[in-house]
Structure formats: C-alpha cells, structure tokens
Structure 1
Amino acid sequence: MHVIIEPVTAFAQNCSLLICEQSAQAVMIDPGGDPQQLIALTTKQGCKVVKIILTHGHLDHVGAAKELAEYFQVDIIGPHHDDQFWLDALPQQAQMFGFNAAEPFLPTSWLVHQQRVHFGEQELEVRHCPGHTPGHVVLISHQDKFVIAGDVLFKGSIGRTDFPKGNQAQLVSSIKQQLFDLPDGYVVYPGHGPITTIGDEKRHNPFLSGRFG
C-alpha cells in the first residue's frame, strides 16, 4: 500500500491518502480542509478514491469531507457514533477555531470497534479509542504494519483532552489497550506532526511512561 500524508488547514492536519497499488483504489482519511489541494493530489497520483473515512468529529479532520464526497461520489464512513455531537456542532466549531462556516452533516455509516474496512486488495481494522473525543477510532493495516492514529497518539505526546467529553485517563487506557498491543515496528501516522512507531512511543512518550500520565 502507498501512504501519502498531505497536511491541510492552518492546523497542519495530516490528511492520509491510502492507495492500493494493485487496484489503484484509494481511501482518503480525515480531509479536514483545502479540498482543491486534495483533489489535485489524487489527480497527480492517478488513483480512484472509493471511500472517505473520518477518525473523529473535529473540524480540522472533517471540514472538506462533505464537499469531497460529493465530488468523488463516494460514501463518508466514520467516526464512531459517539462523535455525532461534534458533527452536529460544526458551525460552532468553525467559530471556535476561526474556520470558514461549516454545515452539520452525518456520515453514510458509523464505524464500530473491530470492524474491517476494505478497498482494492487492502483491509483496515477499526479500533475504538475514546479519550480525545468519545467516538474516536484508529485504523490499522496489519498487511503493511501501520496505524492511522488521528489525534489519539503523537510523536512524544497524546491528544488533547480539554474539549467537551475528553478524558485523559480514558485516552491513556485506549492507547495502552488498543495500540500498545501492536508490535513495536508498526508505524504510527498521527493527525498532526511527524510519524513515529509503536515501539518508540512505548519507550519514550512521557505521557505514557508515568512521567505525565
């Protein structure tokens, strides 16, 4: 699988384009904004977007989802249903974060824990990882040994938990139960910032080693 990370929005949110090299089918994960930039990326790659997937309901991760779903004529899937309140509150989020006006929308379907998402010859495992938001999910490719982590886990840090319904203890528990059972070599593609690995975060992340957590 070919993984392309394209930062979008003023928050440098990492939109992920996953391309099945055998079929050229692709999924776009967390298109938070800059839709024309993302359309140009898919044109350059010569791939066919067949799904848009959302890890959670924050505006910098979902802001261009509806427009791109209409452009590509595809479904939006995810996040977990517990993040519906964030999607319902998109107008308020736009005001809070200084984004252009955003309208509420619902995905075509919600994601659930241990669901499998398929495209081309690829499979992604869904794991529910609440804490940053109650409905946050991560997506794992066991074939290619990587995690699309959204705002759950970062290089040397973890997601914020000071938003409504955030919970730091729950987030730490989600990481340790749902991510740290993966082999150390799995690559982590976070929602912001540089990539890391499960092993590096087990060993060095101060929020998960007891120094801050």
Structure 2
Amino acid sequence: MKIYPHYSPQGSVNSYLVGNEVSKEALIIDPGKITGEVINHIEKNGYTLVGVFITHNHIRHYGYGLPTLLKIYNPRVYAADQALVGKHGKMLWGDCTIPIAGFSVECFSVPGHSPDSYLFKIDNCIFTGDSLTAGITGSTLHSFAAKTLAEQLEKKLFIHDDALLLFPGHDPPTTIGAERKFTHLSIFKVDKSMVNFIPYKK
C-alpha cells in the first residue's frame, strides 16, 4: 500500500490517494481538490481509480474534487449522505467492511462532528476526517454531540494499537499512541462562540 497525501490551500484540507501496488487499483479519501498533481500520481502509477470515500458532508472535503473525479474516472462513491453518493456508489449505514481495490476498508460511524462522520481503516492506517486531528477532537454544535463523539472515538478508535497511523482531514498525521496520551475525550468546555467544544487538561 502506498499513500500519497495532498494538501489543498482551498479549504485547508488533506486528501489521500491510497494505491495498491499489486492490483494497480486506488482509492481517494476526501477529494477536497483534485489537481494535476493528483491526476499525475494516478496515471504515472498506472492505477485504476475504483473508489472515493468521504468522511463527512462538509463541502471543503469533497466539493472541489469529487465533480472533477467523476468527469475523468468511474469510481464508486462511499459516504453516509445520499446527496453525496447519488447514483455513483453506496450509502454507508452503521459499521461495515468494504472489500475494494484489494483492501478491506473498515468503516466506522462516529457521529458528533457531523451526523454522517466516518472513520476509514485500511491495514495499519485510519483516516479520521474531522472527527480527530492531532491533539484535538472535532468541533461540535452542542454538548450532546461532543459527548457522543467522545464515546464513539473511545469505542471505535482508541481500541486499536498505539502504533496505528492516523491521517486527519486537517493538520499532520499522528498515531493512536500520541492521541491516547494528549487527546482527552471525557471532559469538555464551551468556547466563547458557544459552538465548538474543545478538550482541556485540569
């Protein structure tokens, strides 16, 4: 497996091209913006793009890139919002495993940052979208959503080994071990805007 990260200043988001060197197939996680560089990675490696996985329905994570991909390739789209999937793929519901591109993509529903938020695990890597970035959980609209997100991350993310790599929708990669040490899920405080919930240390 090879991972090609791509940062888009338009929306300040990370996208990830995940290639299988054996099957010569590839997936894209959160196609925030698809540039010539991304297309070149696909073409130069001889990949067939077979899937697009979207962690949540926030336009910065798909709006600039998904239409471009659908004009050039014919991938199946996987997301928990039917508006994103349309006629191009499969709507995700609950936790599931999808065999695609020679991988087993484990899909974990983690509502909180948004109702449709998902984590995607491929081998020893987990793509977290905005549910978790380095040192902080995703923003939420109210305390119930913050509590829900914390509970889901405890059950579905922090059960994994410390060495697993995390690839977020924003900011640099991290590991389960680092986040277990620095991200506190059980205690939240409200910021001044009364919108985002951020973890803090006592």
- Measured against the shorter chain, the TM-score band is 0.7 to 0.9
Answer yes or no: is the 8 Å Cα contact 2:56–2:114 preserved in 1: yes
| SS state at 1:127 partner | strand
CA 1:139 to 1:105, structure 2 compared with 1: closer, same or farther past 3 Å?
A: closer
- 5 Å-filtered alignment, 1:1-213, equals 1-63=1-63, 64-78=65-79, 80-81=80-81, 84=82, 87=83, 106=86, 108-141=89-122, 144-162=123-141, 167-205=145-183, 207-208=184-185, 210=187, 212=199
Structure 1 runs of 4+ aligned residues shifted over 3 Å read 34-37
Alpha carbon RMSD of aligned pairs, Å? 2.3
CA distance in 1, matches of 2:85, 2:148: 27
Rounded to whole Å, the distance in 2 between the matches of 1:6 and 1:32 is: 9
Secondary structure of 2:161's counterpart equals: coil
Q: Give the superposition deviation at 1:210.
A: 4.0
Q: Is the 8 A contact 1:35 1:67 kept in 2?
A: no
The amino acid that maps onto 2:67 is K
Q: Which has the higher strand share?
A: 2
Letter in 2 for 1:157: I
Unaligned runs of 5+ in 2: 189-198
- TM-score when normalising by structure 2: 0.83
Give distance in 2, aligned partners of 1:150 and 1:74: 20
Deviates more, 1:114-123 or 1:191-200: 114-123
Aligned length: 188
Partners of 2:131 and 2:144 lie apart in 1 by 11
Q: Which has more helix, going by share of residues?
A: 1
Question: Where does the alignment leave 5 or more consecutive residues of structure 1 unmatched?
Answer: 88-103
1:105: Cα distance to partner? 6.8
TM-score (norm 1): 0.79
Residue equivalent to 1:94 = none
Q: CA deviation at 1:152?
A: 0.7
